[in-house]
């Protein structure tokens, strides 16, 4: 059993990218240890799929990274990208 709580879609919707990144890093280490130690069990596939879904949305939401368009474009996106919960942004 992990020493931390595995991420769920419901929880990720309530957290911002800045809050999610440390959680993703910890859970990524957890899955890496499980896979490399041959400790994956029946039923882990759904939790791993959920983690991957959340991770890919946080890292690559399908839109340009803030500031990629230039310093004057998309300033609202820049402010909200890291601070607003994913659910409010409609990313998850």
Of the candidates 31, 60, 25, the one whose C-alpha atom is nearest the C-alpha of residue 44 is: 31
pLDDT at residue 82, as a whole number: 87
Strand partners, 85: 16
List of long-range contacts for 41-44, beta carbons under 8 Å, 24+ apart:
none
What are the boundaries of each domain within the chain?
A: 9-89
Query: CA-CA distance, 75 to 89, in Å (whole number)?
Result: 14
pLDDT at residue 50, as a whole number: 94
Tens-binned pLDDT, residue by residue, of the chain (92 aa): 557 789 999 999 999 999 999 999 999 999 999 989 988 888 899 999 999 999 999 986 665 555 555 544 555 556 788 899 999 988 88
pLDDT at residue 67, as a whole number: 54
Residue 91: how many CB atoms within 10 A of its CB? 17
Query: CA-CA distance, 39 to 14, in Å (whole number)?
Result: 30
């Amino acid at each position: 059993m992990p020493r931390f709580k595995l991420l769920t879609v419901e929880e990720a919707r309530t957290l911002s990218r800045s809050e999610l990144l440390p959680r993703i890093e910890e859970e990524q280490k957890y899955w890496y240890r499980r896979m490399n130690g041959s400790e994956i069990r029946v039923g882990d596939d759904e939790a791993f799929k959920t983690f991957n879904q959340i991770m890919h949305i946080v890292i690559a939401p399908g839109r340009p990274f803030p500031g990629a368009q230039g310093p004057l474009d998309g300033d609202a996106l820049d402010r909200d990208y890291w601070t607003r919960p994913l659910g409010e942004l409609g990313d998850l």
